[in-house]
Structure 1
Amino acid sequence: MMALFRNLFAAALFVGILAAFEPLNYKDCKSTFKINSVKADGCPQENGKCVFKQSTFKINSVRADGCPQENGKCVFKRGTNPTIKISFIPDRDLPKLKASVRSKISGGSTFTTFSLNNDNACEHGIECPLKAGQTYEYTQSVEIVNTYPVVDDVQVNWVLSDEDDSNKKEICIVFLAKITE
């Protein structure tokens, strides 16, 4: 009986976690892999949308967690760990993918690299090697540390690239964000 209760609780928790992720609007530019979706948990659509572009795989969807929408921007709160989910379909077999996240404050000319705990995309919901035509969902969090400045306009670039050739941006999404207290 106790095992049944634990299984029901785990199933309810899993459904609750899935329900928190909401689709985000994005733009697919020059994708070689098909992106199915990009989603954000805690990022409902309200009077605006996130803008995503420059992907080489076909993007199906983009979702994010911990990124409520405000005037078309994901709002990242310092001290949180927002999560992004990118569903995609590769157009060719690929042994591995490497993840990177960079940001640029509005008016700035240089990008700052976000530190990922693990940049091996194959350890974030993707089973490698990737097979052409198969659907994959990459899931990873990034820490918004308390030392980040509070800013209204940040461009975020999230890239999944060929591990052997970082110039091949198989998935590249760009969206606007702001960082709050």
Structure 2
Amino acid sequence: MGLETISEIMVGLRGHPSLHSIFTSLHNLSRIQLVDRGGMSDWDPLSRVFQELLLRTLRSVRLTTIHLKGMAYNRRAYSEDVFAVVANPALKHLSIDSESAELTSSNLPLSIHRPANGLPELQSLSMSDAGMFWQIEFLFFKGSLYNVSRVQQLSLQSGGTNAKEWVIQAFLDEMRDILESLTLDFAPNGLAEISA
């Protein structure tokens, strides 16, 4: 399923009566792509009913691929809700291009926290935009929502220059035996790219 829209339409869709029946009827859904082509839509203005509908859909189906682009999570609790519900064992491909709070912790471990058995073993991971390093902190260092030791394709992109080398190194250490494709882009304007 792909849902592409612009910011104003995204907010307008929040109470559309057909969305519930559409989402709940997709019993064989394996891929969700939620994209805002007009920039970043704030999660906050979306009605709680619409938020719960999306979360319930993400939670109830065995998705193998999730692509979230153009959603700004201004409260950490919101982004934590979204990232937690998609952590089903079937998930293989995760792409997040969304804004959230920046990484603030100074006492994080220098290695990724490995998850328990039964959590998703990702094969590809793509993360970008301003909140990327906080998202990495929550998903892989503080928490253990996804297993990245089987990732074959990794892409990390940020428009800022504050790349945290130890985070990148921790990823590479975890994936060193399986990683096949690597893209790092940390130029101020997102122009420079290192691929391997």
Same fold (TM over 0.5): no
Structure that is richer in strand per residue: 1
Normalising by structure 1, report the TM-score: 0.25
The structure whose residues are more often helix, as a share, is 2
Higher relative contact order (CA 8 A, sep 6+): 1
What TM-score results when the alignment is normalised by the length of structure 2?
A: 0.24
